[in-house]
Chain A
């Protein structure tokens, strides 16, 4: 007889919901998203779940498995103790829409608030020159698949709902990317502190722990950002120097490996 596993899936919408138990056959390599799809196909056709790539690339399928924020498509069923039900719930930090789907539109609003790259002019061939070692670290940040699991787990968002004052770890790494970008000319530091709330982060590192892309969010992005705000923000000499030289006063910082 084929092996089965039991899933407790949270079903419902903003008006309320409950856990429903389903059991489904398992097979080699099965991930939780496969199980959700099998249940959808055979037992609960209207079960709502977000997904796209089923390969950990798109960041659509974020939810919580046994209470931990995870990508459903990268979470193997055989990693859990056999015989015990696996609980699947929507991300808790965002308004619930239906079943496993939440309203993540806040993230898209935040993205719009961040001023985009303002590059130096290209060379005569229309291209820019950059050295690999100058972009190694920000290439790490650009691995972000916008699954918003870090936003979901960060207590500033999850427990204190500071969505107005704080952009969350996902967008702090985006700000760090822009700040460390070799071509960028825009100084976003004043906004960092006020509009983007970098000060709310108290370095718990929970975001780094859940990131499926293994981005060292806290140590490589947020701490350097905090330092730059603290060092430079109220230093008029630094500011003048930057105006005169056009430099953003960048220092090369050590890269912490995950």
Chain B
């Protein structure tokens, strides 16, 4: 009866999210001859992946023949301060080259080396030039390629459709419930397996580089369905976001600027990064400006420039410079490329950056420095999955891409996300298709659908209440202030108190107007997810009493060599709890390294 009331679609595999991870999963599942549905909140090709700039990391060895998967693996583990799931880091490093190469068979055109191969550029924390790229629009090339290949494989695409609940029966996922943005009407998807590929959570911070879609939906949907979240304390603040004018505060400036030779300076024109070289990276990093310049000029015997240390290090350094009063006029630091590259080079290799600053910032980067500061960018945390299959602890539920956890540990290296999407998107698609083949026909429960529909409509029913936009602003302010780049116990506790207050208010949000394309309603429904991931982040951050990677505790400034180096933090809904339930937090020991992996790590 209920089913007749709601538009219903049935697929073997339902993929939620059409960024790089979702599209790659859909391509793989389609190739396995199962019926595939692909759902996304925006139009196809507009997912956040489209914004990726600098490149995709893969040890192709085209520019530096000494590069191979072992070096990439080591760099990734080191960047994550060894909190990564080693097996994911291994699969990622081994498979990324094939995943990048196959894209060219589907139409991608990366920039070339003189001998006609895919060109690779330097990036933070990558020992060798490793990022395949197309100027500064790599994400666009990737998503368009996957899209143009995928649409001919027979998958059904549901665009501008938002999933608000997963449907679970007897510990197995059986589908999803959502609404069409265009009409506001509900839709039910029945599926034998479901892949979450919903991306990040950046919209919980006031200053961020993310699109409106990044509201932690996949993490929240998984949590509510009984899956686990892991590493939620690790939020990457990208060191170089725009700081001026206010309209573009937080908008990303690709690390590719530094990859192409750009240098960071404080207001005294000092290249301050030399003061912040982490012990772990001391050996390979230049000691003097002269040495760094030689490295930038291609001298392989010189140490790397400290401007390309991993993101957490650079972000903290900028934060410290600004705090010490050595910042730029609008509270950032300077990044210049014009002293290093000709105007023609800049326009060719960094056209989007040139354009972005000229049009939006009134700055000509071929003649002037940029002003930059940290911006909320990427979450290393997410849904906990099995490294070999990407399956969660809920049967038939998979997760891949930014919404999954494990590959990056406590800090992601630039370029390792796009490769993550390709490698684990493929694996998730393959295993979701396999799982669907052995699964029973999905039986969805009318009661669960009715409950999801009531939940979604509640904001319309209220006589009076909160403005959802104001509430979102409030949340972003509190997260920025109390759970931001530098953390301390008292702040985190204060942040959690605010989250309690906001959760209460979110239950009283009211929206008006018709249901079709109603922005306030969509915002109201996103709040539940943002609050949930915010709480998970604050709780995990409070629990981890050390500083590691992207998680910096003022009250525990050292990276611990003991206990905290051996555990990941896992959060889940208290078993049996109703609704959102209470959050359970557990310390889970890191998997041990097998001998061959240990040997690879020791080589470095």
Interface residues of A (CB under 8 A from B): 13, 27-31, 34, 40-42, 45-60, 74, 76, 97-99, 101, 103-104, 108, 111-112, 115-117, 119, 122, 125-132, 135, 138-139, 142-146, 177-178, 181, 183
| Distance between Cα atoms of A46 and B510 in the complex (Å) | 12
B101 pairs with A40, CB closer than 8 A:
no
Say yes or no: A29 contacts B109, CB within 8 Å.
Answer: no
Q: A29-B245, A60-B42, A112-B151 are in contact. Are A131 and B112 (CB under 8 A)?
A: yes
Contact status A131-B116, CB under 8 Å: yes
B102, B469, B513, B517, most chain A CB atoms within 10 A:
B517
Cβ–Cβ < 8 Å partners of B359 in chain A: 56, 74, 76
Supply 19 further A-B pairs (C-beta < 8 A) apart from A51-B211, A97-B182, A108-B151.
Answer: A29-B248, A40-B469, A45-B468, A46-B514, A52-B42, A52-B46, A52-B211, A55-B356, A58-B50, A58-B211, A115-B152, A116-B107, A116-B149, A126-B98, A130-B112, A138-B109, A142-B109, A142-B140, A181-B107
CB pair A45–B104 under 8 Å, yes or no, is no
Q: What is the bound-complex CA distance between A13 and B515, given in angstroms?
A: 12
**Highest count of chain B CB atoms <10 Å: which of A55, A116, A117, A128:** A55
Q: Check: B276 CB closer than 8 A to any chain A CB.
A: no
- Known: A40-B519, A52-B211, A131-B112. Is A31-B104 also a contact (CB below 8 A)? no
Residues of A within 8 A of B46 (CB): 52-53, 58-60
Report which of B44, B514, B519 forms a contact with A45, defined as CB distance below 8 A: B519
Contact mask for chain B residues 24-66; partner A; CB cutoff 8 A; 1 contact, 0 none: 0000000000000000001111111011000000001000000
Indicate if B177 sits at the interface (CB-CB under 8 A): no
* Cross-chain contact of B352 among A40, A45, A52, A57 (Cβ < 8 A): A57
**Chain B residues in 8 Å Cβ range of A138:** 109
CB-contact partner of A145 in B107, B111, B140, B512, under 8 A: B140
Chain B residue numbers with a CB within 8 Å of A101 are 517
Asked if B294 is an interface residue, CB under 8 A from chain A, the answer is no
Nearest-Cβ distance from residue B1 to partner chain A, whole angstroms:
31
B98 touching A130, Cβ below 8 Å: no
State the CA gap A76–B245 with chains docked (Å): 12
- Give min CB distance, A175 to chain B, whole Å: 12
- By secondary structure, the A interface counts as loop
Residues of B within 8 A of A131 (CB): 112, 116
Contact A28 B246 (CB under 8 A): yes
Residue of A nearest to B62 (CB): A127
Beta-carbon contact of B518 and A46 below 8 Å: yes
B212 adjacent to A142 (CB under 8 Å)? no
B212 touches A52 (CB 8 A): yes
Query: Can you list 22 residue pairs at the A/B interface with Cβ under 8 Å?
Result: A30-B245, A40-B520, A46-B514, A47-B519, A49-B519, A52-B42, A53-B46, A53-B51, A54-B248, A57-B137, A57-B139, A59-B45, A60-B46, A99-B517, A108-B157, A119-B105, A125-B101, A126-B102, A129-B115, A138-B109, A142-B140, A145-B140
Q: Which residues of A contact B517 (CB under 8 A)?
A: 48, 97-99, 101
Query: What B residues does A40 contact at CB under 8 A?
Result: 469, 519-520
| B352 to A, closest residue via Cβ | A57
Q: Which residues of B contact A46 (CB under 8 A)?
A: 511-514, 518-521
Please give, as numbers and ranges, the residues of chain A lying within 8 Å of B139 by CB-CB distance: 57
Query: CB-nearest residue of chain A relative to B250?
Result: A54
Partner of A129 from the list B116, B212, B516 (CB cut-off 8 Å) is B116
Q: Considering the chains assembled together, what is the distance between the CA atoms of A29 and B248 in angstroms?
A: 8
Partner of B50, one of A31, A57, A178: A57
User: Which residues on A sit within 8 Å (CB–CB) of B141?
Assistant: 142
Which residues on B sit within 8 Å (CB–CB) of A28?
Answer: 244-247
Which 7 A/B pairs are nearest by Cβ-Cβ distance?
A: A29-B245, A46-B513, A45-B520, A129-B116, A29-B247, A48-B517, A41-B469
Q: Which residues of B contact A45 (CB under 8 A)?
A: 467-469, 511-513, 519-520
A residues in contact with B48, CB < 8 Å: 52-53
B416 within 8 A of A: no
Question: How far is the CB of A104 from the nearest CB of chain B, in Å?
Answer: 7
B282 interfacial contact with A, CB 8 Å: no
